[in-house]
Structure formats: structure tokens, C-alpha cells
Amino acid sequence: MLRKGQILIVETDDLIRKLLERWLTEAGYAVGFCSPGASGADPTPDLVIVNVSTPRNAEALIRSLEVKYAAPLLVVSARFRRGLGASVELARRLGVRKVLPKPFTREELLAAVVDSIEGR
């Protein structure tokens, strides 16, 4: 099967990580994982999907991932709510391509992945 690209997932919740892996591999993406702050072999992903559990720590986590990987970032978080201007502004300030509020559907995830990789 022809792969669409490499996606790195930074997610501490096993259930969410496995769900993301299943949806993304079914859609044709190669998937890798890392934990926040982990070191080791650095893949060269086309996209990094990162869970932000608290907005207070978001900036430090985002900056560390930007330094480590030259790839766009897609933030997923239960802390960001649909339609809240503050969440959109924080995403702009952090320089992430997209913020996908939890819960999200498979279709919403895949649309956000495509938008993030293509730079929309």
C-alpha cells in the first residue's frame, strides 16, 4: 500500500493513541509515537499530532516539538472548545496549523490532517 506520509503522535493516553493509529493507518498514513520530552531516534514526520492537556504547558511543549521536528503541528485537546476565540488565538500565537477539540470524529481528524499537511 502506498503511504500518504509519516505522522508522529505525541499522546499519553493509550486508548486515544491506539484510536489515532487505527484511523490514520486505515487512511494510508505511516504512524510513529513518542512521549513528551522523549529523546532517541528522530523520525522525519510530515506532521506531528500532539495532545495538549493544559493550556499553561502548551507553549513549552509546542516549542520543544518545533525544535525537534521540522514538521507542522496539529494540536488535539479537550481544553480547546469549538467556537471559542481564545482557543483560536492561542493556536495562532503558538504557530500551530490546526487545533482539533476533543471529542472529534474520524472524518474531522482526517480533514484536519490533510489541512495541516497541505498548509491550509
Domain that holds residue 82: 6-35+44-118
Q: How far is CA 99 from CA 2, 3, 32, 66, in A?
A: 27, 24, 20, 16
> Considering the domain boundaries, does residue 81 fall inside one?
yes
Is residue 1 domain-resident?
Answer: no
Inter-helix orientation angle 106-118/14-26, to 10°: 70
Query: Per the domain annotation, does 22 fall within a domain?
Result: yes
| pLDDT of the residue at 53 | 80
List beta partners, residue 32: 8
We report the CATH number of the domain holding residue 111 as 3.40.50.2300
Q: What is the pLDDT of residue 63?
A: 87
Backbone angles phi, psi at 31, to 5 degrees: -125, 135
The pLDDT value recorded for residue 10 is 93
What is the H or E stretch that residue 10 is in?
strand 6-10
Q: Does residue 23 sit within a domain?
A: yes
Task: Give the pLDDT of residue 44.
Answer: 84
What is the pLDDT at residue 16?
Answer: 92
What's the pLDDT at 38?
56
Distances in Å between the Cα of 119 and the Cα atoms of 53, 71, 113 are 24, 11, 10
Q: How far apart are the C-alpha atoms of 119 and 39, rounded to whole Å?
A: 27
Number of domains in the chain: 1
48 lies in a domain?
A: yes
Q: Which of 26, 6, 9, 13 is nearest to 75 (CA)?
A: 9
pLDDT tens string, the chain, 120 residues long: the values are 556 889 999 998 899 999 999 999 999 999 999 866 555 556 689 999 999 887 777 888 888 898 888 899 999 888 766 555 555 676 777 788 788 888 899 999 999 999 888 875
**Per-residue pLDDT, 95:** 80
Residue 115, Cβ neighbours under 10 Å: how many? 15
C-alpha cell at 63: 516549542
